[in-house]
C-alpha cells in the first residue's frame, strides 16, 4: 500500500501525520471491524485529541501497520497515551479495515477514562476551589461517571436508581448547550461529586439548568453549583439583551439540595411524572378504529406542518406552552437525539387531523416526545391508539422500554391517558424556577 494513501487515510481519521509511525507488515491476521460511534457520541480519536488539549494526557503516539493488497488493505493500530504527571503510558491496539483499527485503538484508551489523568489534573493547572475539589467542564466521555453520580443521588433520596446513560446523553447533547462554557463538574478523590449545566429551554425567554450533588458532599457544594448556574444565567440573559429571564431545573421531591435551592430564592412551580412501559410485556391491544378514522405517518412537509398545527391547538391551554412557528419547531426537533420523521403520526377523523404523536428512537430506549388531541376530538381514544401504534413500531425497531415525562397536574388527565395505554409511573420530579433580573 502506498505511503501517500495511508497518510491521507490517517488524516481523514483525525490523526496528525506527525503523530503516526507507518509500518508495512508482511502478512495480516484476523480482522475485526469496530462500529462507528453512536449518534451524539464523540469519535474516540476526537476524545483523545480533546483530552490532549485539556491537559489530561500529554499526547498520543500512534503506530499503524498496513498489510494486504492496496484495493483491500488491513490495518493494525497501536495507540499509546501518556497521562499527565505520570511516567507510565497506557496502550491499546485495534485491528480492522478502513478506519476501524485506529478507532478501536483509541476506544481502548478512552475506555480507561476513570483512571486517565484524573488524579493528575492538578499538574496541568486545573483550578481547585475552596472546598478542596477540582473543577472542569463536562465532557461526553463523562457519561458513565455522571450516570453513577445521579444514581447515587437517587439511591439516597428514593432508595432506587433509575438514571441511565441515555438520560445523561440527553443532557450533554442538548441543543444550545455549550459544554465548555456552560457546564462544570467537581471532582474529589478521582470521582465526580457535583455537576451543573445551563442551556436555552425549548421555550422563548427561558433557560434550563441541571444540578447534581453527591449525597456524600457537603451543603457548600450545592451552594457553589447554584451560584455558578446563576452567574451563567445572568451572563446569558444580558448577552441576549433581555431584562428578565426564568431559569428552571428538576429535582426529586424532598431532594437533598432543597435547603440550598430555597436559600438561593428558587421555588417549586410544577411536578412532573415519568411513566414507562416494557413493550415486550403485556399491553392493551390496538382497538379497531371507528369508521372514518385513520392513523398515518406524517410523511411530507405539508403533513408535518398539519401535525404542528394540531399540537399548537392541543397544548394552547397548558401553563408552560409558548407558541412557536413551524420552522423553529422543526429546527429544534431535528437536533433532538433519536429524531426520526417516520415516527411522527397523525390521527385523522373524516380526513381532518385530530390528534398527533411524535416519538423518538434513542440509543437505548424509545421516547414519547409530544402527544396532543384537539379539544373537540377528545374522549374518542385517539391518543391511546396513537400510543399503541408508537409502541408497536418502537418494539419492531428493537426497543423494549419506552418512556415519557408528563405534567402531573395537567387538566386533560394526561397521566390517565398514558396509563390507559399500559404505561406506569416510575417516579416524580419537581420543577424549580428562579427569575433572573438584569438591573
Report yes or no on 270 lying in a domain.
no
Backbone φ and ψ for 405, nearest 5 degrees, come out as -110, 135
Quote the CA–CA distance of 267 and 304 in Å, as a whole number.
Answer: 37
Are residue 62 and residue 181 in the same domain, yes or no?
no
Structural domain total, the chain? 3
Burial of 404 (0-12, 13-18, 19+ CB in 10 A): buried
**R_g of the chain, CA atoms, integer Å:** 25
User: What torsion, rounded to 10 degrees, do the Cα atoms 142, 146, 149, 154 define?
Assistant: -160
Q: What is the pLDDT of residue 110?
A: 44
Does 92 lie in the same domain as 179? Answer: no
Given a cut of 90, whether residue 101 has pLDDT beyond it is no
b/e code 245-258 from CB counts within 10 Å (16+ = b): bbbbbbbbeebbbb
Per-residue confidence at 159, pLDDT binned at 50, 70, 90? confident
Q: What is the mean pLDDT of the chain?
A: 80
Number of helices (H) and strands (E) in the chain: give both, helices first: 12, 16
- Quick: pLDDT tens for 104-152: 545 454 444 434 444 333 333 445 555 678 999 999 999 999 999 999 9
- 187, 243: one domain: yes
Domain check: are 87 and 185 in the same one? no
Look at the chain and count its residues: 439
**CA 394 – CA 406 distance, rounded (Å):** 19
Determine, yes or no, domain membership for 438: no
173 and 237 co-located in one domain = yes
DSSP 259: H
Domain boundary among 61, 93, 120: 120
* 45 lies in some domain: yes
DSSP alpha helix (H) spans, 66-142:
100-110
Q: Which of 265, 293, 312 is the last residue of a domain?
A: 265
pLDDT of residue 302: 97
What CA–CA distance (Å, rounded) separates 417 from 381? 9
Share of the chain above pLDDT 90, in %: 51
User: DSSP states of 62-88 as a string?
Assistant: EEEEEES-TTS-EEEEEEEEEETT-S-
3-state secondary structure of 227: helix
Do residues 114 and 235 both lie within one domain? no
Q: Are residues 354 and 308 in the same domain?
A: yes
The reply to whether 439 falls in a domain is: no
Same domain, yes or no, for 248 and 299?
no
Q: Give the Cα separation of 181 and 184 in Å (integer).
A: 8
**pLDDT the model gives residue 423:** 95
| Residue 68, domain member (yes or no) | yes
Would you state the pLDDT for residue 117?
Answer: 41
Is residue 65 a part of any domain in this protein?
Answer: yes
Instruction: Please report whether residue 9 resides in a domain.
Output: yes
pLDDT in tens, 266-325: 999 999 999 999 999 877 777 788 889 999 999 999 999 999 999 999 988 766 677 889
Domain of 317, CATH number, reads 3.40.630.30
Look at the alpha carbons of 159, 165, 167, 171 in this order and tell me if their dihedral is positive or negative.
positive
Supply the pLDDT for residue 123. Answer: 33
Sequence-distant (6+) residues with CB within 8 A of 108 are: 79, 92, 93, 94
* pLDDT exceeds cutoff 50 at 419: yes
For residues 150 and 240, membership in a common domain is answered with yes
Q: Please check whether residues 222 and 105 belong to one and the same domain.
A: no
The whole-angstrom separation of Cα 395 and Cα 342 is 14
pLDDT in the model for residue 71? 60
In this structure, are 110 and 70 located in the same domain?
yes
Cα(425)–Cα(123) distance, integer angstroms: 47
Q: What strand order describes the sheet that includes 365-373?
A: 134-136, 183-188, 191-200, 206-213, 244-251, 424-437, 267-278, 401-407, 365-373, 352-362, 344-349, 293-297
Q: Name the domain boundary from 241, 265, 289.
A: 265
**How does residue 17 score in pLDDT terms, banded at 50, 70 and 90?**
very low
- Model pLDDT for residues 208-243, shown as the tens digit of each residue: 999 999 998 877 999 999 999 999 999 999 998 889
Q: Whole-prediction pTM value? A: 0.66
The answer on 281 and 423 residing in a single domain is yes
- C-alpha 73: how far from chain center: 36
Boundaries of domain holding 224: 127-265
Indicate the range of 116-125, 292-301, 361-370, 409-418 predicted with least confidence.
116-125
> Which three cell numbers mark 49?
485529541
Find the CATH number of the domain harbouring 62.
Answer: 3.30.160.20
Amino acid at each position: 500500500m502506498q505511503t501517500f494513501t495511508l497518510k491521507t487515510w490517517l488524516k481523514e481519521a483525525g490523526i496528525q501525520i506527525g503523530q503516526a509511525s507507518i509500518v508495512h507488515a508482511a502478512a495480516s491476521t484476523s480482522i475485526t471491524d469496530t462500529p462507528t460511534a453512536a449518534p451524539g457520541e464523540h469519535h474516540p480519536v476526537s476524545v483523545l485529541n480533546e483530552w490532549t488539549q485539556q491537559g489530561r494526557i500529554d499526547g498520543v503516539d500512534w503506530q499503524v501497520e498496513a498489510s494486504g493488497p492496496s484495493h483491500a488493505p488491513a490495518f493494525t493500530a497501536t495507540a499509546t497515551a501518556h497521562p499527565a504527571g505520570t511516567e507510565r503510558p497506557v496502550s491499546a491496539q485495534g485491528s480492522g479495515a478502513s478506519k476501524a483499527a485506529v478507532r478501536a485503538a483509541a476506544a481502548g484508551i478512552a475506555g480507561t477514562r476513570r483512571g486517565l489523568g484524573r488524579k493528575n489534573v492538578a499538574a496541568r493547572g486545573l483550578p481547585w476551589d475552596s472546598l478542596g475539589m477540582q473543577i472542569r467542564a463536562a465532557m461526553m466521555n463523562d457519561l458513565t461517571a455522571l450516570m453513577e453520580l445521579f444514581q447515587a443521588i437517587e439511591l439516597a433520596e428514593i432508595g432506587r436508581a433509575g438514571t441511565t446513560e441515555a438520560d445523561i446523553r440527553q443532557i450533554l447533547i442538548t441543543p444550545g448547550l455549550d459544554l465548555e462554557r456552560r457546564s462544570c463538574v467537581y471532582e474529589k478523590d478521582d470521582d465526580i461529586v457535583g455537576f451543573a449545566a445551563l442551556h436555552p429551554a425549548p421555550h422563548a425567554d427561558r433557560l434550563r439548568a441541571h444540578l447534581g450533588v453527591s449525597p456524600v458532599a457537603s451543603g457548600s457544594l450545592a451552594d457553589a453549583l447554584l451560584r455558578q448556574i446563576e452567574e451563567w444565567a445572568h451572563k446569558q440573559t444580558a448577552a441576549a439583551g433581555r431584562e428578565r429571564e426564568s431559569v428552571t431545573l428538576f429535582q426529586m421531591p424532598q431532594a437533598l439540595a432543597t435547603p440550598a435551592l430555597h436559600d438561593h430564592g428558587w421555588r417549586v412551580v410544577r411536578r412532573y411524572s415519568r411513566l414507562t412501559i416494557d413493550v415486550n410485556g403485556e399491553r392493551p391491544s390496538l382497538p379497531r378504529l371507528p369508521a372514518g378514522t385513520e392513523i398515518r405517518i406524517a410523511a411530507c412537509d405539508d403533513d408535518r406542518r398539519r401535525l404542528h398545527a394540531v399540537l399548537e391547538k392541543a397544548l394552547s391551554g397548558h401553563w408552560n406552552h409558548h407558541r412557536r412557528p413551524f420552522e423553529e419547531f422543526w429546527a429544534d426537533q431535528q437536533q433532538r437525539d433519536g429524531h426520526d420523521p417516520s415516527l411522527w403520526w397523525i390521527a385523522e377523523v373524516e380526513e381532518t387531523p385530530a390528534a398527533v404523536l411524535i416519538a423518538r428512537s434513542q440509543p437505548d430506549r424509545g421516547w414519547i416526545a409530544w402527544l396532543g388531541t384537539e379539544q373537540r376530538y377528545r374522549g374518542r381514544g385517539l391518543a391511546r391508539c396513537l400510543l399503541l401504534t408508537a409502541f408497536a413500531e418502537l418494539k419492531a425497531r428493537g426497543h423494549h422500554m419506552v418512556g415519557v415525562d408528563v405534567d402531573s397536574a395537567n387538566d386533560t388527565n394526561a397521566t390517565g391517558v398514558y396509563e390507559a395505554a399500559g404505561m406506569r409511573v416510575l417516579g416524580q420530579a419537581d420543577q424549580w424556577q428562579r427569575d433572573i433580573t438584569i438591573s
